Amino acid sequence: MSENYQVLARKYRPHVFEEMVGQSHTIKTLVNALNNNNLHHGFIFTGTRGIGKTTIARIFAKSVNCEKGISAKPCGKCETCTEIDKGQSVDLIELDAASHTGVDHMREILENAQYMPTKDRFKVYLIDEVHMLSKSSFNALLKTLEEPPSHIKFLLATTDPQKLPITVLSRCLQFNLNKLTQDEILAQLKFIMDSENLKFEESALSKIAEFGNGSMRDALSLLDQSISFGNGSVMEKDIKAMLGLVHHDDIVKLASLIIERKTDEVILFINELAHRGENLSNALKDLTSLIHRISIAQMLPKNNQFSGEIATLAQKISLQDLQLFYQIAINGQKDIGYAPSEQVGLEMTLLRMIAFHSEYNSEKKTLKIDTNPKENIKSISASKSIKPEPYKESKKINAKNDNTIKKSDNQPKLSGSKLGNQSDWERVIQTLPFSGAARTLVKNTLFASFKDEKLILTLDHQYNNLLTSRTQKSIEKTLFEHFDIMILSIEIDQIENQTLSQKEAIKKRQLKEKTEQQFLNDEGVKVLQDAFNVKADVKSIKPL
């Protein structure tokens, strides 16, 4: 590597506003202000890391101090522009607030603000991560912001604007910078690779852009690493090896096996992936992304950007099941760190998907997608397919017309007249043999009304993913076995501390708190804590 080698993030840092990627709303405002010489004394740039906050600030500093005059297009060649680009300008004072939190240091800096610039038009203070300043430092800064000298410009950058005092925010113009899109990052990566005359595969750069997660700097750092790994080229196979990614075809195959409910093949395939040394956590993330793309393909059938394999998978699964799979996959990513191993965590997540898979394949409400990419993707009966099953509509079960559900003479019958409030409904829940997802669902419902043989329940919106046709049919079956005639309607709403499940959770929490308090107040425990200078692990205290 050459001694003069520069990392890509520095080599391709924009030097003028036209080179900036994204942030058009901020740049447009600054360009108009500079061209009209209508400049405020304080600016705050907010947003996540690596999206151009300090870069915009430095370009702004060049624009106001360029020797050819104030303009949105600094020349970049004069002594002032060159010094700012090299970080050698005496009138551009850059501070890292994380390292200079002390009020004395801030006062010393601001005391010098009253003096005219050494050679430039304005003295510019660029304070990065300004939210890290102490309260006293903010107070010192505020005094200067209230009545700033005409030769001072403040450029403040932060990733956490909520920590800034409102008094500071109100005295500055605030610009909220957005995360960059994957397409914006990808276009810049392709430009850099072409400029460097390096070989690459677009699919590999696309994966880097995805892992950049909206940050250009993160993406460029990963590109640097990829170029070194690939010895001057960026290929998809190298990216997968470097990042521990599972091949796309394997993820598609895994999704197909889950949709087709081939449990034994799913387990065997996961064993194969583990044996090959694949990163199973990344496999679950890739599966989640695939589920998202399938959902988009279903909901936007005229969008022809998806491959034939995604269109094919979209035809095999209902909208309802797909949403449930996504939720299970998201929760699985959270839980996989607590599993005995990555393989166990992934297997349990996939088995959970299969366990909640709808069995009503003949009644799946899917969008029929034409897999021919040259023709527009069309939907058949889209008005019925886009909407999930209307749970708010009543479903009446009639013993004469329904041959699949039969009354059980051995089961005790409950009187409808005794079902008149939430307490009655909770007794029904605890009495009837609801099981699995059906039991979880009814425990999170409120009794609304029971009149003219129609039971109306309100379901806590947090559990609407459980409201599948399979679960509702199970509830109706159990109710019908104990009520002569029953029409069931389930509505979704926000509920707080009223359902049986919520009441049980409150009682459990109260019991836990009481147990912890009793344990910590025990004299023997206090003696042990004092003797060994330790504290009891509250999480380990459980009621018998």
More confident residue, 239 or 369: 239
Domain ranges in the chain are 8-176, 182-243, 248-363, 395-495, 501-540
At 101 the pLDDT is 61
- pLDDT, one tens digit per residue, over 510-536 is 888 888 888 888 888 888 878 878 888
Q: Is the pLDDT of residue 417 over 60?
A: no
User: Cα dihedral sign for 159, 162, 167, 171?
Assistant: positive
pLDDT: is 89 or 97 the higher one?
A: 89
Predicted TM-score of the model (pTM): 0.55
Residue 397 CB-half CA count within 13 A: 25
- Name which of 293, 300, 200 is nearest 252 in CA terms: 293
**CA angle in degrees (0–180, nearest 5) for 359-361-363:** 110
> What is the pLDDT at residue 331?
92
Amino acid found at 508 = K
- Secondary structure element (H or E) that encloses residue 401, with its range: none
CATH code for 182-243? 1.10.8.60
Residue 433's nearest CA partner among 489, 475, 484, 486 is: 475
| CB 340 within 8 Å of CB 303 | no
- The pLDDT score that the predictor gives to residue 525 is 81
**What pLDDT is attached to residue 146?**
85
- Does the domain at 248-363 match CATH 1.20.272.10? Answer given as yes
Instruction: Report CA 131 to chain centroid distance, whole Å.
Output: 24
Query: Which one is predicted more confidently, 111 or 365?
Result: 111
In this prediction, residue 247 has a pLDDT band, given cuts at 50, 70 and 90, of confident
> Which SS3 state, helix, strand or coil, does residue 232 take?
coil
Report pLDDT digits (tens) over 370-411: 444 444 333 323 333 333 343 333 333 333 333 333 434 444
Contact in structure between 48 and 215 (CB atoms under 8 Å) = yes
Percent of the chain with pLDDT over 90: 28
Give the residue, 107 or 327, on which the prediction is more confident.
Answer: 327
pLDDT at 188 over 60: yes
Pairing between β-strand 454-460 and β-strand 445-451 as defined by DSSP bridges: antiparallel
Distance CA 50, CA 207 (A): 18
**What's the Cα-to-Cα distance from 223 to each of 22, 190, 201, 216, 498, rounded to whole Å?**
19, 11, 12, 10, 53
Contact at 8 Å (CB) between 437 and 356?
Answer: yes
Is residue 284 within 8 A of residue 329, CB to CB? The reply is yes
Highest mean pLDDT among 322-326, 357-361, 413-417, 464-468: 322-326
380 Cβ contact partners less than 8 Å away, ≥ 6 residues apart: 367, 368
Low-confidence winner among 117-131, 136-150, 387-401, 460-474 (lowest mean pLDDT): 387-401
- Strand intervals (E) in 202-337: 233-234
pLDDT at 172: 92
Options 1.10.1270.20, 3.10.20.30, 3.40.50.620, 3.40.50.300; CATH for 8-176 is: 3.40.50.300
The residue-averaged pLDDT of 88-106 equals 79
Residues 6 or more apart whose Cβ sits within 8 Å of residue 90: 83, 118, 119
